[in-house]
Amino acid sequence: MFMETKDINKKLDEFSESLNTLNIALDIEGKNTRIKELDDIMSDPNFWNGEDTNSIISESKNLRKIVDNYNSILDSVNTLKEMCELDLSEEDINGISDEIEKIEHDLDELNLSTFLSGEFDSANAYIEIHSGAGGTESNDWANMILRMYTRFFEKNNYKYEIISKSEGEEVGIKGCVLLVKGYYPFGYLKGETGVHRLVRISPFDSNARRHTSFASVLVTPEIGKNIDVEVKESDLKIDVFHSSGAGGQSVNTSDSAVRITHLPTGIVVSCQVERSQLQNKERAMEMLKTKLYIMQEQEFKDKVKELKGDVMDVNFGSAIRSYVMCPYTLVKDTRTNYETSSVEKVLDGDIEGFLEAYLKLKDN
């Protein structure tokens, strides 16, 4: 892209205005102050003995990423302004034009950070995937969704661990729970809550007929260990079972997996990732308290869509997103109308467009 010098100066002025706006919207000064506070906390010799170590480190990383991205763009704009005061060759102008394209892209990404201001947006996220009715077809679809998310995490430097997993009788999974960590995990992923619908020629149908399968996704924030929620032992049904999985060191070989049912609400949580039954129980209790906290707090009645999307109880009659592989190819989100014909790319983890479209929609 070749630009005239006057067009370059105009673009750089627009960038400066955008940065001034983002400075206020992102509260860069406040974030710098908070980073210094966190640095002081982490420099304490007793820091690594505390329970909130991971959450503090995560908060610091998230804040630094926003501030560093802002400063990087600001430095680039100022450098280009200084260059424009010199006599520029055609080669110089071409180089500046390319840098302007990069700045535009970086500004778009930074602007997304303004949509991540929710109370729990910076929290780690639990993602629950459950297959719908239909046995083999739905179990396979749930497993495809699991792969889609894990591919997205791997491509975008998110860390995840599978907390629990229930294998299907023949293929796929009946359900699983993941814990996701990284850059504003809940903020970016909260829009995935809902029913996901797949239309395809079934690989399990000898007559090659078209099938529709459903799976549900629920995204909730990891609020932390110190949640003030009273849980009566008499309200709990605790089951111990053998962990399932592909084998290897990551899977337990004893009956250490734990499933907890909260009888008054019907909430069920499970954990099988830890080595001991006690650790799995503690992890499952954290998840249960998080769900009860969200359910019990009066203030969440008006904020439930913000926290858990547009559905609380999964309704298989209305999908938030359809993945059609036959008779045409299309993935379309019914809430934002964002769509793409690249079904295979989406199923391979290319879901950024859907996540960003939802963030922008909720901000309007």
pLDDT tens digit sequence for 254-293: 678 999 999 988 999 999 988 888 989 988 988 888 888 8
Radius of gyration of the chain (CA): 24
Question: Looking at the domain covering 233-299, what would its CATH class be?
Answer: alpha beta
Between 12-21, 69-78, 300-309, 323-332, the lowest mean confidence (pLDDT) is in 300-309
d(CA 188, CA 355): 6
Tens digits of residue pLDDT in 317-350: 579 999 999 999 999 999 999 999 999 999 999 9
Between 115-129, 184-198, 227-241, 311-325, the lowest mean confidence (pLDDT) is in 311-325
CB atoms inside a 10 Å sphere around CB 300: 15
- The three-class DSSP label of residue 259 is strand
**Mean pLDDT across 285-307:** 68
Between 3-17, 166-180, 250-264, the lowest mean confidence (pLDDT) is in 250-264
Structural domain boundaries in the chain = 5-115, 125-223+314-363, 233-299
CA distances from 97 to 4, 34, 77, 106 (A): 9, 36, 12, 14
β-bridge partners, 48: none
pLDDT at 314: 44
- Residue 350 sits at φ, ψ, to 5 deg, of -85, 75
The CB-side HSE value for 27 (13 A sphere, CA atoms) comes to 9
CB atoms inside a 10 Å sphere around CB 194: 23
Q: Do domains 125-223+314-363 and 233-299 have the same CATH topology?
A: no
**The listed CATH number (1.10.8.60, 2.160.10.10, 1.20.58.410, 3.40.50.880) that belongs to domain 5-115:** 1.20.58.410
CATH code of the domain occupying 125-223+314-363: 3.30.70.1660
**Mean pLDDT across 54-64:** 88
Instruction: Identify whether the C-beta of residue 334 lies closer than 8 Å to the C-beta of residue 314.
Output: no
Specify the higher pLDDT residue, 302 or 204: 204
Percentage with pLDDT > 90 across the chain: 56
pTM of whole model > 0.85?
no
Coarse DSSP helix, strand, coil percentages of the chain, rounded to the nearest 5 percent: 50, 20, 35
d(CA 22, CA 15): 10
d(CA 264, CA 280): 22
- Name the token pair of 148: 């889609």
pLDDT above 80 (res 362): no
d(CA 255, CA 267): 22
Tens digits of residue pLDDT in 139-174: 999 999 999 999 999 999 999 999 999 998 889 999
pLDDT at 224: 66
pLDDT at 1: 52
Specify the higher pLDDT residue, 117 or 12: 12
Alpha helices in 156-274 (DSSP H): 185-189
d(CA 239, CA 242): 10
- Name the token pair of 120: 């729990």
Tens digits of residue pLDDT in 232-251: 889 999 999 876 544 433 44
Edge-to-edge strand order for the sheet containing 339-340? 159-167, 173-181, 125-131, 210-221, 194-201, 321-324, 330-333, 339-340
pLDDT at 289: 86
